[in-house]
């Protein structure tokens, strides 16, 4: 089976190796069968992505938004540990004066200290998110922020599983899954982050890592109705490096297929899968053209009002001409 698949790649792409073709799993004739099977599965996911993109480009008509999922385009701005009262006042003013496309769900996540300031001055067209929340009801947990506090201050979303929480703070998959379950049970939407480190991508483990992180969410959450999945390759966050549109699309297809196989076809269709990792005003339009990229989670560029507006408005790149 693996030999036949390699032959198919050769027919489609010439002398490229499987690893350079997919960027996800290396090909090696000496691998055990199970690893060859994994490479084959990766290959077919990639070919499936190419076929879907080809099909969508043929069938697209004027004014149609080319999205594999059925959800509305979603753009989140993660301000991280940045800002002062003055700089945030200026950023909010820029956002309030920006002309944003109406068919986009826009969310910003200021530092907790400034949520109230932003809530009281930001346009109602943009929702608020926390950057983190505690795993249960508040109490004697020094330095933590409870879901109840986020709701009380006006937040409707929370970012959970971000790589900086995973790899700097040390939160594990199961803990993050429990946090998501509690936030959802209390009515907050969850931006559920997944993504691989550079060494994991180079070792061909991108799918393995992302699927393991997805499984921790799936094992814990009561429903997927208010979950947005954010694929953020760790090697692209804040580094200036960005996954190519093809690399991002390939993982997004795999994530949607995983949801279809392990949760349900309905969840796979409805769940928005957004991309994060050095997204900016210059690359967002090309990324947005990909069928399975349903929006973005933006870091540094979200601190610049006009550039963030450009990213929000990249939804127009999905509206393809006949």
Nearest residue to 275 via CA among 299, 249, 291, 296: 296
pLDDT given at position 320: 60
What distance in Å separates the CA atoms of residue 275 and residue 249, rounded to the nearest whole number? 9
CA 65 to chain centre: 19
Distance in angstroms (rounded) separating the CA atoms of residues 209 and 301 = 27
Number of other residues whose CB lies within 10 A of the CB of residue 82: 16
Question: Model confidence over 7-47: pLDDT tens digits?
Answer: 222 322 333 332 332 445 443 333 333 344 444 455 555 44
Q: Averaged over 87-108, what is the pLDDT? A: 98
More confident residue, 201 or 24: 201
Tokens coding 59: 């069938």
- Cα-based distances in Å from 86 to 89, 92, 93, 124, 191: 5, 10, 11, 21, 28
Six token digits for residue 304: 């610049």
Architecture category of domain 73-118+147-321 in CATH: Alpha-Beta Barrel (3.20)
Tell me the sheet residues that pair with 276. 297
Three-state secondary structure call for residue 104:
strand
Q: Average the pLDDT over 238-245 and give the result.
A: 87
Residue 273 has pLDDT above 70, yes or no: yes
Q: In the structure, how many helices (H) and strands (E) does the chain have?
A: 14, 10
What average pLDDT score do residues 88-106 get?
97
Q: Catalytic residue numbers?
A: 162, 232
**Segments making up each domain of the chain, as ranges:** 73-118+147-321
Residue 112 has pLDDT above 90, yes or no: yes
Backbone Cα Rg of the chain: 20
> At 240, is the pLDDT very low, low, confident or very high (cuts 50, 70, 90)?
confident
> Is residue 250 scored above 70 in pLDDT?
yes
Q: 5 falls in which pLDDT band (50, 70, 90)?
A: very low
Q: Which residue has the higher pLDDT, 70 or 248?
A: 248
CA distances from 33 to 1, 3, 101 (A): 10, 11, 49
Model confidence over 118-132: pLDDT tens digits? 999 999 999 999 999
Phi, psi of 123 (to 5 degrees): -55, 145
- Measure the CA–CA gap between 216 and 181, rounded to whole angstroms: 10
* pLDDT mean across residues, the chain: 84
Length of the chain measured in residues: 322
């Amino acid at each position: 089976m693996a030999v036949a698949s390699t032959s198919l790649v050769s027919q489609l792409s010439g002398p490229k190796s499987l690893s350079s073709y997919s960027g996800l799993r290396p090909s090696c004739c000496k691998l055990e069968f199970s690893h060859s099977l994994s490479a084959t599965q990766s290959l077919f996911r990639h070919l499936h992505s190419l076929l879907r993109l080809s099909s969508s480009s043929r069938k697209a008509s004027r004014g149609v938004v080319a999205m594999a999922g059925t959800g509305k385009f979603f753009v989140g701005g993660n301000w991280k540990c940045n800002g002062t009262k003055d700089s945030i006042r200026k950023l909010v003013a820029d956002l309030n004066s920006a002309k944003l496309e109406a068919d986009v769900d826009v969310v910003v996540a200021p530092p907790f200290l400034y949520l109230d300031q932003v809530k009281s001055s930001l346009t109602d067209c943009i929702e608020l998110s926390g950057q983190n929340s505690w795993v249960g009801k508040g109490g004697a947990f020094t330095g933590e922020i409870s879901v109840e506090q986020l709701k009380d201050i006006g937040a409707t979303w929370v970012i959970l599983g971000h790589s900086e929480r995973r790899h700097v703070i040390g939160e594990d998959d199961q803990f993050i899954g429990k946090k998501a379950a509690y936030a959802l049970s209390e009515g907050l939407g969850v931006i559920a982050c997944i993504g691989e480190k550079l060494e994991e991508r180079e070792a061909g483990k991108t799918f393995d890592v992302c699927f393991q992180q997805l499984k921790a969410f799936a094992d814990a959450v009561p429903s997927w109705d208010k979950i947005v999945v954010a694929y953020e390759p760790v090697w692209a966050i804040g580094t200036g490096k960005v996954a190519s549109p093809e690399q991002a699309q390939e993982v997004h297809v795999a994530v949607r297929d995983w949801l279809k196989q392990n949760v349900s076809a309905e969840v796979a269709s409805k769940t928005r899968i957004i991309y994060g990792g050095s997204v900016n005003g210059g690359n967002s339009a090309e990324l947005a053209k990909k069928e399975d990229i349903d929006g973005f989670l933006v870091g540094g560029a979200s601190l610049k009002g006009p550039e963030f507006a450009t990213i929000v408005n990249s939804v127009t790149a999905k509206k393809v001409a006949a």
